[in-house]
Amino acid sequence: MEHLKKDFDEVPVVKLVFWGASMAGKTMALTIFKVLKTLEDPERVYSFLTLEDPTKRTLFFDRGVFGFGYNPLTGKDRLKAHIYTVPGQLRHITQREVVTSGVQGLIIILDSTSAQFEANRSALTELTEFIDSYGLKDVPFVICLNKMDLPTEVRTPVSQISELLVETGWSERMRDAHSRIIEMSCMDAKNDLVTLLKSDSTSRVKADNGRLKKESRPETVKRVIMPIEMILREVLTRQIARTN
């Protein structure tokens, strides 16, 4: 992997991309991360932009810029993450190409809705083609299965998703023994965050400075942000391994 680029502040920058079919939940997952970060660590949310068309589909991309490991002595973050989502609709292939260039970590969001099974397949197949054409085969990735809150009748069984990953060659890429599909629900995470903020026991969930305490993170929210944390850790571990 290349050395990380640095921004104008000399802070290393990691580019992560949420990949997946249209309506799989990429924008929602990134938004949940942004809301949580804003509650816990507002100064470390540098920008957040989402561009949607009138039907709420991502038009070009969404992007959030977040800081991690702030050092008060230097006044700088240890790392900044630029997190993008690709527009999932088939016709936006050129935008996906632009957004994906120079990526250091991929978060693949699959939609558990049965009606979206083929859309998941297209998204996985297209990503394989991108990886092959742009030499991205060493880019770490995490695979998530979203919308697990939906009733089983309308969902593809997880076993069938696993078969799809075998067919499209993604299982083979998951050679790391720790990797597995992360089952999650952005909807549950969002509802739990809303409930948490409405609760009158704010003193229990917030520190004296008014920020949300890390231990107050609802389990459902932890799940949604876990892929971002995992992939960032992986990128950093590889960087450290490189420089030693």
Ligand X SMILES: Nc1nc2c(ncn2[C@@H]2O[C@H](COP(=O)(O)OP(=O)(O)O)[C@@H](O)[C@H]2O)c(=O)[nH]1
Binding site for ligand X (CB under 6 A): 20, 22-28, 56-58, 85, 88, 146-147, 149-150, 185-187
| All residues at 6 or more sequence positions from 217 whose CB lies less than 8 Å from its CB, including other chains | 36, 225
Q: Which does 25 bind (CB under 5 to 8 A by kind): Mg ion, ligand X, none?
A: ligand X
The reply on whether position 27 binds Mg ion by CB under 5 A is yes
Q: Give dist(CA 77, CA 10) in Å, integer.
A: 10
Nearer to ligand X (CB atom), residue 85 or residue 104: 85
Indicate which of ligand X, Mg ion, none lies near residue 20 (CB less than 5 to 8 Å, by partner kind).
ligand X
Residue 206: which of Mg ion, ligand X, none does it interact with, CB under 5 to 8 A by kind?
none
Would you call 208 helix, strand, or coil by DSSP?
coil
Answer for the pair 49, 58: CB distance below 8 angstroms, yes or no.
no
**Four-CA torsion 39, 108, 62, 198, nearest 10 degrees:** -30
Specify the pairing of strand 12-19 against strand 5-6: antiparallel
* Shortest CB 128 distance to ligand X, Å: 19
Are residues 17 and 106 in contact, defined by beta-carbon separation less than 8 angstroms? yes
User: What is the closest distance, in whole angstroms, from the C-beta atom of residue 32 to ligand X in the complex?
Assistant: 9
d(C-alpha 61, C-alpha 18), whole Å: 10
What's the rounded Cα separation, in Å, for the pair 83 and 233? 14
- Smallest gap from Cβ 231 to ligand X, in A, equals 17
Residue 23's binding partner, choosing from ligand X, Mg ion, none, with beta-carbon cut-off 5 to 8 A by kind? ligand X
Q: Say which entry of ligand X, Mg ion, none residue 113 contacts (CB below 5 to 8 A, set by partner kind).
A: none
Instruction: Report the Cα 230 to chain-centroid distance in Å.
Output: 10
Q: Is residue 89 a contact point for Mg ion (CB under 5 A)?
A: no
Identify the residue among 14, 17, 35, 58 touching Mg ion (CB under 5 A).
Answer: 58
* Residue whose pair of structure tokens reads 């969404």 in the numeric block: 62
Q: 32 phi and psi, to 5 degrees?
A: -65, -40
Q: How far is the CB of 121 from ligand X (least distance, A)?
A: 16
What minimum distance in Å lies between the beta carbon of 176 and ligand X? 25
Q: Which is nearer to ligand X, 79 or 130 (CB)?
A: 130
Which positions touch Mg ion (CB under 5 A)?
26-27, 58
